[in-house]
Every structure is written in C-alpha cells, then in structure tokens.
Amino acid sequence: MLRTLKDIDVKGKRALVRVDLNVPLGDDSKIDKNESWRIEAIVPTLKYLIKQKAKIVLISHLGRPRGVNKKFSLKPVAKELSRLLNKKIVFNGKSGDIVMLENIRFKPGEEKNSPKLAQDLAKLGDFFVNDAFAVSHRKHASIVGIPKYLDSVVGLLFEKEIKELDKVLDSKKPLIAIIGGAKIATKIKVINRFSIIGDKVLIGGALANDIFAAQGISMGKSLIDKNSFSEVEKLDLTGSKFFLPVDLAVWDGEKVRYCEIDDVREKEKALDVGPKTINLFCDLIKDAKTIIWNGPLGYYTKPPFDKSCVEITKAINDSKAYSVVGGGDTVAFLRSIDKDNIFNHVSTGGGAMLDYLANETLPGIIALEK
C-alpha cells in the first residue's frame, strides 16, 4: 500500500516535491487559461506542506527542450503558482520557504535516469513527495531515481488519482471506454485491457484512421501513421465489444462531406466521425454505469469537426454513469466549452492514466514501494 503525505511527520522539514507543471506557453510566455488547471491541481499538496511549516523545493519539467532552451523556462509558471498560493516563490535560487528549480529536463541526466542527478536532487530534501502522477509512467531520475535515496511518499493529487482510477477498475457495469486521439502504440494495452474488463470500447479519431488504413481501406489524405500498422495487428477487434466509426466527416480543403468508411476520396481528409457514428456512440453511452474517455474523436479545434466531442459530452452529462476523463487534448476541449465539471474525475495524466488502467501500476509507484 502506498504511503501518502499524511502518513509521515513533515513539520519543519525540507520537502522535495516532484510536480507536473507541464503547461503549454504562448509566444508571449503566458499560460492558456484552459491549461492552468494543471497548476491548480497541485495547490492542495503545497498548502498542506505550508500549513505544516515545511520548506518546499519544487521539481518539474516543461515540454521537451532537448537541452537548455529559454523557451521552456519554468519562470512564467513560477509566477502563476506564486499568484495561486499568494506566496513568494524563489525561482532557481538557493533558499526560501518555496523554491522552484528550473526545468529539470534541462539536465541531460533526467531522462536517462542518472543516479548522480538523483543523488544531487535528494540532497535538497529531508523527504520526497511524488505528486506528478502525469509523468509517473516515465523512468526518469526525478520520478524513479530520488526514492532510492530519500524517504518517499505520494502527494494528495497522486493519492486522489489512484483512488479515482481504482474505481474504474472496480467499476459498476456496463463499463464503456471511449478511446480517440492519435499514438495508437500508447493505447494498444489499454484497448485490449478494456476488451476484457469493459463492456464496450468505442474507437475514433486518428486511431480509427490507422485501423482502417491498416485493413487496406483508402483514407485519402487523412492523418495516417503507417508505422503503426504493426501495432494495429496486436489489436483483437473481433467480438461484440469493439465499435469503430461507421461513417466519417471529411474535408477536401473547401467543403465538408459525410460519407461511408470506404468512400473517402483521394483529396479528402477524415477529420471527425459522422452523424451515424455519433448517434450509435451516444445510444451506447445512455446505458453505461461507468465511462472512461481519453482522446478526442475529431479535430475539435475546427468546427464542425468538434461535433462528436460536443455530442458525446452531452450524452455523458445526461447519463448517470460514474465518469472519468483524461488526456491533454480531451480536457482542453472540455475546458474550452466549460464542461470539465460534469465528470466525476478529471485526470491530470493522459499516458499515465492509460498505463495505470492497463497495468494497475506505474514505474513511479513501483519506485515508492521499494
């Protein structure tokens, strides 16, 4: 059983806290209002530590900088967090009640899980708190390395994530999984997992494009990852649990058209599922007792290709199911229409959420259990 922040004495001690502050920054280095929820999510853990008069050292990453790159500095994020806490944050300094280190991925040893980097970081705290659920599927120094050298626990956000996702694993039936977006290789395990523990698996987005293309169906100029075809072969799509789109919304650069799966023309792109598929998916959602959603089914930032996301959100809202949503794009869409509050739980993790549901553990959890 994982120990949590409240299981140890933290009063007056130095807390080394790994958090997830990976929020996209605009060209003006400002944080998009639809992304600030990631920063807000760690506030309860930090307020608890502040109340216990702990000294806090924050570790986070931002993007994939591939070395030192000012564009990926955490300085703007430190300012936003300081505002939320109403506390001064010393950025990249030596001492203070709250210190935030610069982007940990500026250090080459982070993604290589360097023992030297983990040891150096461990010297900054009396104990370690992992509150970065969203990156705990990564075997990085600040996730799996530090616990080798410090007494380690999970934070309040991490604890909540596990409790809510365990409810999905022990769910009331029927359980429906809605899987969209891209990167089919990262979703194979969870799709197959839900084919066992779930009742219905609804697949859309670029994932469906890859599946159809791998089956030899022409998808015109749609987004296709040919390298994923070998991964598609690992999917067992037989049986009554899987539901792929039966029609598509396509675009030739000028006009929107709705067509059957095998009727995508050479110059067209499939950018959303079609109205028949939306009706089918929404009908299935009506009977669900538990719903998990990861990945949009269409190009949600360009209407009318947000239609499936809008209608599925309405169907989930109208249902009485326990619902969980995760994945950056999906949550960004829900935030843009002010509907993230209809879900019982909004996960801060996309890949981490899928990995936990598929494997019931994560490298970051295993590291804390040793």
**311: pLDDT strictly greater than 70:** yes
Cis-peptide, bond into residue 24, ω within 30° of zero:
no
Question: What angle, rounded to 10 degrees, do the helices at 43-51 and 75-85 form?
Answer: 60
pLDDT of residue 233 exceeding 90: no
What class does CATH assign to 5-159?
Answer: alpha beta
Q: For the chain, give the percent of residues with pLDDT over 70.
A: 99
What are the beta bridge partners of residue 346? Answer: 325
Q: Which of 13, 139, 183, 221 is the catalytic position?
A: 183
Domain ranges across the chain: 5-159, 171-359
Cα angle for residues 212, 214, 219 (degrees, 5° grid) = 45
- Residues 274, 280, 285, 288, CA torsion sign: negative
Q: What is the mean pLDDT of residues 257-265?
A: 96
Arithmetic mean of pLDDT, 30-55: 90
Q: Does the active-site annotation cover 160?
A: no
Quickly count: other Cβ atoms within 10 Å of residue 215's Cβ: 12
Q: How confident is the model at residue 28 (pLDDT cuts 50, 70, 90)?
A: low
Determine the average pLDDT of the residues in 88-115: 95
For all residues of the chain together, what is the average pLDDT?
93
Tokens 């360009």: give the residue.
302
Cβ atoms of residues 264 and 248 within 8 Å:
yes
User: Mean of the pLDDT values across residues 37-66?
Assistant: 95
The closest alpha carbon to 247, from 267, 229, 271, belongs to: 271
Tell me what pLDDT residue 45 has: 98
- What's at 203, amino acid-wise? I
For residues 69 and 95, give the distance between their C-alpha atoms in angstroms, rounded to a whole number. 24
Q: Is 183 a catalytic residue?
A: yes
**If you classify domain 171-359 with CATH, what class do you get?**
alpha beta
Q: Which residues pair with 345 in a beta bridge?
A: 324
Task: Summarize pLDDT for 272-301 with one digit per residue, the tens.
Answer: 999 999 999 999 999 999 999 999 999 999
Q: Which H helix or E strand runs over 82?
A: helix 75-85
Among 204, 205, 350, 351, the active-site one is 351
Same fold, 5-159 and 171-359: yes
Q: What is the pLDDT of residues 184-230, one digit of tens each?
A: 888 888 888 888 889 999 999 999 999 999 999 999 999 888 888 88
Q: Is 128 helix (H, G, I), strand (E, B) or coil?
A: strand
Active site residue 3: no
Look at residue 319 in the predicted model and tell me its pLDDT: 94
Asked if the model's pLDDT at residue 172 lies above 90, the reply is no
Q: List CB contacts of 330: < 8 A, sequence separation 6 or more.
A: 180, 181, 293, 294, 295, 296, 309, 350
In this predicted structure, what is the pLDDT of residue 239?
75
Which of 97, 153, 93 lies closest to 127, judged by CA? 153
Q: How far apart are CA 59 and CA 39, in angstroms?
A: 13
With a cut of 70, say whether residue 315 has pLDDT above it: yes
Instruction: Give SS3 for 25.
Output: strand
In the set 198, 298, 328, 349, the catalytic residue is: 328
The residue among 35, 141, 135 whose CA lies nearest residue 80 is 35
Which phi and psi (to 5°) does residue 175 adopt? -105, 125
Would the pLDDT of 26 be above 80? no
**Model confidence pTM above 0.85:** yes
The residues near 128 (Cβ < 8 Å, ≥ 6 apart) are 16, 17, 18, 122, 146, 147, 150, 151, 152, 153
Task: Please say if the pLDDT value at position 35 is more than 80.
Answer: no
